[in-house]
Chains A and B, each alone.
Chain A
């Protein structure tokens, strides 16, 4: 009897190989740029041709607003979120919206960037520093260079009201004792344009409408590789970083496929894909793409996620007050 049961179990487990043929629809909300999101989805779909994958891209803050609307309507669409920062994920986890994926293999990763309850998983390291148009006369080395007269009326930055990375950058920079909110007020006096997302800043600097900007590393480094007149600076005070975590919603309709997607993103193959797209992979064993300094050379600004979540609304209000939203 016992052996029969065992044999039956064996057959079941054999009949369900590691990559079971998944089917149905999988919906992903992401803040990744369109082309990268499409590539990631295509690479995953190549493994599971039976899946139909639908995705929506917008800035993290706007993705969250959309999701809140769907929570209110009682019918959240996505199975998965792949958004800029862990602070947002932490707040969703607190609300009990996230599903734990106990089986995920995170052994290779720095435990500091993974949720210990396995509800969200960092997929890359995206730093925010300074981008400049190569036609500019002054090459900034420090944040304070942006307060020089050369940068007057020609600086742009993404708004925390749109972008998750910009929120973390604002918190990191303003909690640095040398910079603080006084630095952001200085930027406002410089006539800084602080609206929209990272894409808008890239467009303004690459198009020469602005000469300097705060920007996520990969956009500038990738644009420079394509020949656009831009270059990226890791300022001497340090850069802020987000880790673009992925998470499964409790309301996910296709949990198996969602778990497979998470597994794919944190696998070495998924990490290599991220590196090939020009991102700094979160997996320490996967080499950084061209154009980045060695990983131990990148200095990070201090950042306290718990304090960031606590002061989120107040920080954004303060930002709106200084820059007029």
Chain B
């Protein structure tokens, strides 16, 4: 039997690893390295000068401060909301947990630009729902969502599900002995929560907070559609506006601002990793069924408040979005005479761009999902090894994917423009302005999502299976195809579906990469809204939301076949 450390780079195994490493480095590592190279050099030498110049600009300072302020506040709120919900669902005997989890995670899967459009329609003077109940603000009154508070509320609502997932996973891995011991010693629920549960959850809370913070920093849809009318410019909007308004002649300037955003993001992640290392509590106990504390008479009120909160957060914007999509023209009061299906007819039958965008996004998202599933199965095989050069190399590759996922999509797309604007060597064509650049960017940015799912499955595969096949003389590809792939396939599939949904609904990556004939659903909705065709934007958003919910429900069918945790909205 060959031990993992006897690994050599000969044969299919070595070649496969080399190929994956090359591809991922080309897509994730090199573009970012190029971005940093531009930012950190001046006149051929290493220099912090350009970055310092960028930081000295007043508009950059203001945008940086706004980004930090809104992201910090929204991360705090998201952490509180997500944790409360995770505790309510993870520790108590609240009923109907499955549909609740589905609804709690829904905001995460709805594209942020759609959330922004829906809320701006829901709370303004022209709100169809508020007008119907006579609560709409008077014409000319300031729009409540177009403010720092509105921006923070929407961002935290969008990212609350991330915190919920992380804290719930933390609760799962929670050793029951401690809480049992405390309860036996007579500690009551609040004391248990305060002295035992929350301190033990600290690493999860921190991770959730940082994830929400980083997601808010890179969020483009909400920052643009709410921040611009609120006159509150954040870094992603500054980057987008400069590049969309002045073109690539300012790419150097924009690259520096993106790098700044990238540095802030990576810095936060690094701090989190450091803090978590210090906090790690070595605890006894395997993952087990979480507690189901009997709430007694409090159960009904707790249930009612959870459902009410979700209803207010989901129903009001959804109804407004749907009602606006049926309006003859924006600004009319809600009445039978102002309703029409014209907007749907316009986007489905007359506007060529809409159907093209649906087709483009579907194909690009599906291809990205397939490619990522393939890459993840291959890369995961090496990551699951216990040690050796191959494991270390694979770890290096996976780290690049993690970084590409962590930095905001807009930063990655700037890096992609830097890398692919000039014609490719040998072929002589530029990828910029083609669907290929968007597809490759999806693979680079969302690889980490697919890899995560697959790794959950690889960890459960017994290493002796591989050894047995080796001893029987099976080559690398044979083992991969006959043993590993079938075992991790369901997880890879659910990872692929997550990748599909994420790319199908994104706008941050394609906002700067789209071109004639290569529009995505996200850019089309965004451009309708930005161009003032809010009824068309509402119609297209409604279709997207319905499609997303249907895909999520369809994925539930996969639930029995995948390891726990592979589908976020399933237990």
A residues near B, CB below 8 A?
A: 27, 29, 33-35, 38, 41-42, 54-59, 61-62, 64-70, 72-75, 77-78, 133, 135-136, 153-154, 161-162, 193, 195-204, 206-211, 219, 223, 226-230, 324-325
**In chain A, what residue has the closest Cβ to B422?**
A73
Cβ of B338 within 8 Å of any chain A Cβ, yes or no, is yes
Number of A-B contacts defined by CB within 8 Å:
167
Nearest 10 Cβ contacts at the A-B interface: A199-B532, A208-B125, A68-B247, A208-B139, A65-B247, A206-B331, A207-B126, A135-B139, A199-B531, A73-B430
Residues of A within 8 A of B139 (CB): 133, 135-136, 208, 211, 229
CA of A64 to CA of B247, assembled, Å: 8
- A sample of 30 inter-chain contacts (CB < 8 A) reads A34-B533, A54-B516, A55-B353, A57-B353, A58-B527, A58-B531, A65-B246, A65-B248, A67-B247, A69-B248, A70-B432, A70-B433, A70-B515, A73-B421, A73-B423, A73-B433, A135-B140, A136-B139, A161-B245, A162-B245, A195-B228, A196-B530, A197-B532, A199-B530, A203-B532, A208-B124, A209-B124, A209-B146, A223-B329, A324-B231
Residues of B within 8 A of A68 (CB): 247-249
Decide: B329 and A193 in contact? CB cutoff 8 A.
no
Which of B350, B417, B516 interacts with A38 by CB under 8 Å?
B350
As a 0/1 sequence over residues 302 to 340 of chain B, the CB contacts with chain A under 8 angstroms (1 = contact) are: 000000000000000000000000001111100000100
Cβ of B172 within 8 Å of any chain A Cβ, yes or no, is no
Decide: B528 and A34 in contact? CB cutoff 8 A.
yes
Cβ of B271 within 8 Å of any chain A Cβ, yes or no, is no
**In chain B, what residue has the closest Cβ to A67?**
B247
Residues of A within 8 A of B241 (CB): 161, 325
Residues of A within 8 A of B421 (CB): 69, 72-73
Decide: B247 and A69 in contact? CB cutoff 8 A.
yes
Decide: A193 and B532 in contact? CB cutoff 8 A.
no
Decide: B248 and A35 in contact? CB cutoff 8 A.
no
Residues of A within 8 A of B531 (CB): 33-34, 57-59, 197, 199-200
Which of A56, A206, A208 interacts with B516 by CB under 8 Å?
A56
B355-376: which residues lie under 8 A (CB-CB) from chain A?
none
Which of A29, A62, A133 interacts with B244 by CB under 8 Å?
A62
Decide: B328 and A226 in contact? CB cutoff 8 A.
yes
Residues of A within 8 A of B432 (CB): 69-70, 73
Given contacts A34-B533, A74-B430, A210-B140, 8 further A-B contacts (CB under 8 A): A33-B531, A34-B351, A38-B351, A69-B433, A72-B249, A207-B126, A227-B329, A325-B59
Residues of B within 8 A of A203 (CB): 330, 532, 534
B532 to chain A, nearest CB (A): 2
**In chain B, what residue has the closest Cβ to A205?**
B331
Cβ of B199 within 8 Å of any chain A Cβ, yes or no, is no
Cβ of B543 within 8 Å of any chain A Cβ, yes or no, is no
**In chain B, what residue has the closest Cβ to A135?**
B139
Decide: B329 and A133 in contact? CB cutoff 8 A.
no
Decide: A55 and B516 in contact? CB cutoff 8 A.
yes
B54 to chain A, nearest CB (A): 15
Which of B126, B229, B417, B429 interacts with A208 by CB under 8 Å?
B126
Cβ of B517 within 8 Å of any chain A Cβ, yes or no, is yes
A41 to chain B, nearest CB (A): 8
**In chain B, what residue has the closest Cβ to A70?**
B433
**In chain A, what residue has the closest Cβ to B227?**
A195
Which of B124, B231, B245 interacts with A207 by CB under 8 Å?
B124
B540 to chain A, nearest CB (A): 11
Cβ of B142 within 8 Å of any chain A Cβ, yes or no, is yes
Decide: B233 and A204 in contact? CB cutoff 8 A.
no
CA of A227 to CA of B332, assembled, Å: 7
B151 to chain A, nearest CB (A): 15
Decide: B515 and A56 in contact? CB cutoff 8 A.
yes
Decide: B140 and A77 in contact? CB cutoff 8 A.
no
B346 to chain A, nearest CB (A): 7
Cβ of B64 within 8 Å of any chain A Cβ, yes or no, is no
B326 to chain A, nearest CB (A): 14
Residues of B within 8 A of A66 (CB): 247, 515
CA of A78 to CA of B231, assembled, Å: 34
CA of A64 to CA of B244, assembled, Å: 9
Decide: A206 and B330 in contact? CB cutoff 8 A.
yes
Cβ of B30 within 8 Å of any chain A Cβ, yes or no, is no
Given the known inter-chain contacts A29-B516, A209-B124, A228-B332, please indicate yes or no for A65 contacting B229, CB distance below 8 A. Answer: no
CA of A199 to CA of B526, assembled, Å: 12
CA of A203 to CA of B417, assembled, Å: 32
Decide: B350 and A230 in contact? CB cutoff 8 A.
no
**In chain B, what residue has the closest Cβ to A42?**
B350
Cβ of B243 within 8 Å of any chain A Cβ, yes or no, is yes
Residues of B within 8 A of A230 (CB): 331
Which of B328, B423, B516 interacts with A227 by CB under 8 Å?
B328
B130 to chain A, nearest CB (A): 11
Residues of A within 8 A of B331 (CB): 206-208, 223, 228-230
**In chain A, what residue has the closest Cβ to B59?**
A325
Residues of A within 8 A of B142 (CB): 153
Decide: A197 and B530 in contact? CB cutoff 8 A.
yes
Residues of A within 8 A of B124 (CB): 207-209
Decide: B229 and A77 in contact? CB cutoff 8 A.
no
Decide: A228 and B330 in contact? CB cutoff 8 A.
yes
**In chain B, what residue has the closest Cβ to A154?**
B140
Residues of B within 8 A of A34 (CB): 351, 353, 528, 531, 533, 536
A72 to chain B, nearest CB (A): 5
Residues of B within 8 A of A70 (CB): 432-433, 515
B213 to chain A, nearest CB (A): 26
Decide: A207 and B352 in contact? CB cutoff 8 A.
no
Cβ of B143 within 8 Å of any chain A Cβ, yes or no, is yes
A213 to chain B, nearest CB (A): 11
Residues of A within 8 A of B245 (CB): 61-62, 65, 161-162
Residues of A within 8 A of B248 (CB): 65, 68-69, 72
**In chain A, what residue has the closest Cβ to B328?**
A226
B448 to chain A, nearest CB (A): 28
Decide: A54 and B517 in contact? CB cutoff 8 A.
yes
Decide: A198 and B532 in contact? CB cutoff 8 A.
yes
Which of A55, A57, A201 interacts with B527 by CB under 8 Å?
A57
Decide: A74 and B530 in contact? CB cutoff 8 A.
no
Given the known inter-chain contacts A209-B124, A230-B331, please indicate yes or no for A75 contacting B433, CB distance below 8 A. Answer: yes
Decide: A227 and B338 in contact? CB cutoff 8 A.
yes
CA of A203 to CA of B378, assembled, Å: 50
Residues of B within 8 A of A136 (CB): 139-140
Decide: B516 and A77 in contact? CB cutoff 8 A.
yes
Decide: A33 and B530 in contact? CB cutoff 8 A.
no
B246-262: which residues lie under 8 A (CB-CB) from chain A?
246-249
**In chain B, what residue has the closest Cβ to A78?**
B516
Residues of B within 8 A of A161 (CB): 241, 245
CA of A202 to CA of B467, assembled, Å: 68
CA of A209 to CA of B350, assembled, Å: 30
Given the known inter-chain contacts A34-B353, A68-B248, A207-B125, please indicate yes or no for A133 contacting B243, CB distance below 8 A. Answer: no
CA of A227 to CA of B200, assembled, Å: 60
CA of A33 to CA of B328, assembled, Å: 17
Decide: A193 and B229 in contact? CB cutoff 8 A.
yes
CA of A142 to CA of B112, assembled, Å: 40
CA of A210 to CA of B429, assembled, Å: 47
Decide: A209 and B433 in contact? CB cutoff 8 A.
no
**In chain B, what residue has the closest Cβ to A58?**
B527
Residues of A within 8 A of B516 (CB): 27, 29, 54-56, 77-78
CA of A38 to CA of B291, assembled, Å: 59
